[in-house]
Structure 1
Amino acid sequence: MFYSTLKVALGGPLRLAFRPWVEGLENVPAEGPAILASNHLSFSDSFFLPAVLDRKVTFIAKAEYFTTPGLKGRLTAAFFKGAGQLPVDRSGARGAGEAAVRSGMEVLRRGELFGIYPEGTRSPDGRLYRGKPGGLARVALATGAPVIPVAMIGTEKIQPPGKIVPKLMRPGIRIGKPLDFSRYQGMEHDRFVLRAVTDEVMYEIMKLSGQEYVDIYATAAKRQLAEAAKAAKEEGGAKTAGAAD
């Protein structure tokens, strides 16, 4: 009930203010379980996609959004719960992955839509990064649910990382045809199969989004960018000190 109320309260204004264009809505089934596997450009992705769908879609969210104390914390938790987000503790990589898999399976067993970002985190530069096989592929093979590739387009310009107030720009959403991985049924513990399934999904997302593909994980790319920025800052500081001498 709360989800429906929040969807009306939030979805309508989002569509009116940003006017997102959508292609492929007919590829989302009217009923039954399905996995929506999307690229991840912005914090707002988890709100634009549900806003254009008639059905509830459940995503994974950081546990901190649900456990922050105080009035603001309670309001944030209520908002994320109402928006269909599930809390996952990301303090340990393996534990977080297992929690995400279990949560996804439960959502699908209820015959609902489960949303997941195979890259595992937001793209640091708008490019598409290698998908992590531990979540998406395992959930798909264990449940038999079809995987629907989704491309969010332009959302990184609306709300870049670190920005709270979004820009009024028109994002796009392309939804591809469902992918059937029933040929791999019972092989959800085979790492080569998990890799193959994940790569196939990422290829479809790349075709839909038109993004440049980078064959490393987004977390590694973020680490490289942070290290490069730190080195540049230190080099700049050294030059300044040398000039002063």
Structure 2
Amino acid sequence: MKLFHSTYDEYYDAGVGEFPLPIRCVRNVALAIVWAFALCMWRARMEDERYMLERSDGKGTVIICNHTSMAEVVSICTYLWRRGRIFRPIFKSEFGSHRIVEWVFSRAGGIPVERGTADMKSLRRAQHALQRGEDVLIFPEGTRIRTDEQPVEVHGGFALMAQMGKTDITPMAVCGFRDITPAGKKVPRPKKCWMRAGEHVSFNDAPEGMKRRERSQWVEDLAVSRMYTLRDQLRAEHPGRF
């Protein structure tokens, strides 16, 4: 890969370890800076992190999480970086309409997805990343959920990614990040927030006799259920925080 003349697709298709050395250095410096910022602002540490770190076969895992703020993306990504995990966030392809944003996301290791479609290119990229040992981070809600009254549409596909990569799904949840930017404000405030990982969901857990599509849906439903259970546990432990 070339430093200045590689296409976005080359970055999406390649492993992070194949990125040019200057790009990897800048990526690490940027992650170190935002990690220090996030640690001071939100002090969020991963609870039950053994579920995030357990890897038995050298493959990555599909991490799913509820979505309330861009701040949690920063906290999760820097957490994984600090633990030596290589991660590939899935992001909406709409961001690709801004060349600077797409340049940054591609060099950061992101993988774009066309929401509402069977985006096989994105699925294949995620599959290859998982097989290389890279984690794939995805927010199934597809957008930030700012109020409990906001309609939520869980986007499928992450279970198929795990199935194609022959790996597990790791559900996790966050709490408190919605509160850092009050309604009508744009500047985030320092607020204690929480992150918690849950037990892996494996395709081996599905009942026998299921067809491929049924098995994928069963795994997807269980993973989402565990994600929301973790979220509700955190909310119950920290009343009034979202």
Alpha-carbon offset, residue 170 of structure 1: 1.5
> What are the superposed Cα offsets for residues 101-154 of structure 1, whole Å, 9 maximum, x if unpaired?
23321221221110112223332424794633x311111122221111110111
C-alpha displacement at 1:88, in angstroms?
3.1
How far is the alpha carbon of 1:42 from its aligned partner? 1.6
Look up the match of 2:15: none
* 1:115 partner SS: strand
The answer to whether the 8 A contact 1:42-1:161 is kept is no
Secondary structure of residue in 1 paired with 2:187: coil
Aligned pair 1:119/2:180, yes or no? no
Aligned to 1:207: 229
Match 1:131 to one of 142, 151, 154: 154
- Contact 1:100 1:135 (C-alpha < 8 Å) held by counterparts: no
Kindly provide the CA deviation profile for residues 138-196 of structure 1, in whole angstroms up to 9, marking residues without a partner as x: 111222211111101111112468854222212110011222213559x7851x33321
Of 37, 53, 56, which residue of structure 2 is paired with 1:13?
Answer: 37
1:40 maps onto 2:67 in alignment? yes
DSSP-derived class of the 1:210 partner = helix
Identity level (%): 24
Match of residue 88, structure 2, among 58, 72, 77: 58
Q: Which amino acid aligns with 1:121?
A: T
Equivalent-residue separation in structure 1 for 2:33 and 2:183 (angstroms): 25
Offset at 1:78? 4.2
Q: Deviation of residue 77 (structure 1)?
A: 3.6
Q: TM-score, normalised by structure 2?
A: 0.70
In the TM superposition, 1:212-223 aligns within 5 A as none
In the alignment, is the contact (CA less than 8 A) between 1:42 and 1:160 conserved in 2?
no
Q: What SS class does the counterpart of residue 67 from structure 2 fall into?
A: coil
Alpha-carbon offset, residue 3 of structure 1? 2.5
Counterpart of 2:14 in structure 1 is none
Alpha-carbon contact 1:36-1:113 (below 8 Å) kept: yes
Paired residues in the alignment total 202
Secondary structure (helix, strand or coil) at the match of 2:70 reads coil
Deviations, residues 59-102 of structure 1 (Å, cap 9, x unaligned): 1123343442xxxx52x344433443223344xx215x434423
What's the offset of the Cα at 1:49? 0.6
Q: Distance in 2 between matches of 1:44 and 1:103?
A: 25
* Aligned residue number for residue 4 of structure 2: none
Alignment of 1:1-245 (within 5 A): 1=24, 2-29=26-53, 32-53=59-80, 54=83, 55-68=85-98, 73-74=99-100, 76-90=101-115, 93-95=116-118, 97-126=119-148, 129=152, 131-132=154-155, 134-159=156-181, 164-182=186-204, 189-190=212-213, 192-210=214-232
| Alpha-carbon distance in structure 2 between the residues aligned to 1:61 and 1:98 | 15
Q: What SS does the aligned partner of 1:94 have?
A: coil
Quote the Cα distance in structure 2 between the aligned partners of 1:162 and 1:116.
Answer: 27
Judging changes above 3 Å, is the alpha-carbon distance between structure 1 residues 180 and 169 closer, same or farther for their aligned structure 2 residues? same
Q: Is the 8 A contact 2:171 2:199 kept in 1?
A: yes
- Supply the distance in 1 between the matched residues of 2:182 and 2:123 (Cα, whole angstroms): 28
Q: Answer with 16-25 or 166-175: which moved more.
A: 16-25
1:28, distance to aligned residue in structure 2 (A): 1.7
Q: Are residues 129 and 102 of structure 1, via their aligned partners in 2, closer, same or farther at CA, if it must alter by over 3 Å?
A: same
* CA RMSD, Structure 1 to Structure 2 (Å): 3.0
User: Which letter does structure 1 place at the counterpart of 2:198?
Assistant: G
SS at match of 2:167: coil
Question: CA separation of 1:189/1:32 partners in 2, compared to 1, >3 Å: closer, same or farther?
Answer: closer
* Contact map agreement 2:202 2:219 (CA 8 A) in 1: no
